[in-house]
Structure 1
Amino acid sequence: MVPPAATTASLVASCTSSLLGVTASAVTRYFATGSSFKTLGYTYRMSDVTVGRIVKETSKAILDKLQAAHMTFPSTDQEIESIKQRFWERWRFPNCVGCVDSKHVRIRNPRHSGSMFRNYKQYFSIVLQGVAGPDYKFIAVDVGGYGKESDGGIFSHSILSEKLEKGGLGSQLFVALPGTNIKVPHVILGDEAYPLKTYLMRPFPGYNLDPAKRLFNRRLSKVRQVIECTFGIISSKWRLLQKSIEVEPDFVDTIVQCICLLHNIVIDKEGEQQVSPGQEDSNDDNTTSRPVRFTSLGENRGSNAAYTVRDKFVAFFSEMETV
């Protein structure tokens, strides 16, 4: 005869295992399909309130347990050098350690929020700002910016900007460009909406540019496909990002961070995905035709040192083209 305690323990273990399976299935289905909590409640025979609580608690648990292993900010010289080398070998842009851009995530308009979350495309959103490496993995994410804010404004007040100002990613380490004695710092690449910094390169504005500047813009735009394709991958795999997330903004922030982490985990486990040439983010927020918005006239004005760094890249690419 099986002791009652053993029977109870076995039942508890069986129920716990089943509950964990249902929890994981409900959360991944919510992320992958964007089904409402009510629809998932019908599927798993629980209330929509319970489904919401499961999604919130599981998302936080995933972030707490797995973020350190799959989405940490590179801090060692070996990690930074590896990223820089892979950008050079694959994308032919030297001293690059990441590409930055922002994506608007549609949300339900929070109560008493006025127009804070209303973006330039006239819907309500929070902003996901991400930095991607050469393998389409996120190096860093910043979630929770108001939809009305510009990319440059969000970046200037982000933890990422603070880390770069303090030398993160080797932003204050001057390294010679390949085959030359020209020294520039490690840089990340952004579009026209970002400020020009010694560690953040953006394209030359305007159309009447000389050939050297046009060449630089082409090189930079080609590499920036990395972050645009990264947003495209997570939007196509995790369909929730294509719909309005109907929970409170703080909850949305947790969900979006968790999806970014799951994106990195999938690549770590299954390897880098093959990206088709047109797999940029289907959300038009990341196309070059979008209007460039500034929060102030001087927001994106670079320093003399930043202009000097960009001019050195221009000279380097021009010399490469003639060799």
Structure 2
Amino acid sequence: MSMTEHDTAVVTSMVEAAVTAPSMHNSQPWKFVLSTGTGVLAVYGDPVRSMPVGDPDNRGLHLGCGAALFNLRVAASHRGWTARPELLPHPSDSWHLADVVLQETGSPESELSALYPAVRQRHTSRFPFSDEEIPTAILDGLRAAALREDCLLTVPGAWHTDTVMELVHDSELFESASTSMREEIATWTRTGRPGEGPSTEGIPSDAFGPKQFGVSAPVRDFDTPHNMPNRAEAVFEKRPQIALLGTAKDRPVDWLRAGQALQRVLLQATLDGLATSLMSQPLEWPELRSFARDPSSATGFVHMLLRLGYGPPGAATPRRPVDEAFTIR
């Protein structure tokens, strides 16, 4: 399908929606290339934006690109197009993550297009949540959202929640003892000080959230390398409500599916009025990751820990101009 100028403008708007997806430390590790002659949008991982310390096998990079791919599918449906992805179309090129066949149909896919309002509403919240329990019906809906992308979302019981939170706290100790990990995180945080990277990427200081008062918080403290003065303190919930997203296997194709499932869950949670944050810290350490799974669950490998609840929405993190990540040929 040869694309017109109007078509390319519509696809550009889809990519603008796609790049609002979350990624590890807001690194935005994606590249999109549109072939106007075929109507195929190729999705690539960007090795320049990889994290050799925290994400040595690029699993987190795949999750971020998968989340962006799901946003693309949602935005396409909203515009009355279909977006049919083929994952890992060229095994010899590990950075070529997907080819998406785009076609205008005029008939939105209702389940996908219903999620579109949440695409720009969803932000990671590093603020305290209330102790109000999430209704079972909402949790069941989030589980169903993950299943639609061939992934499992499990809500752990009390003992497993305690185990996972212990892993979060252990990972904080691992992180504090690793100079290379702390330096890598520091390269992706933005406080306005000289020598930092571009303001269009990374975690800005207004998204750090408050410092935990008393004990370890259930969110990563991006301020640790900086110790910013006058940062507010707050008491976080005693028992966070968490969920674990996983798959039976642990291959790059599973990581891409998990990224799409993650974004589907986050968008549905946003529409359900929930605040969300992601806790990847224990999964960045091979010594800890295997202990995150529930041995009684069919989930073989956990890809993300989600913190869910009722609380203030997070601040929007910046995004690069779309033309930095999108090429039209």
**Structure 1 length-normalised TM:** 0.22
More strand by share: 2
More helix by share: 1
Structure with greater Cα Rg: 1
**Structure 2 length-normalised TM:** 0.21
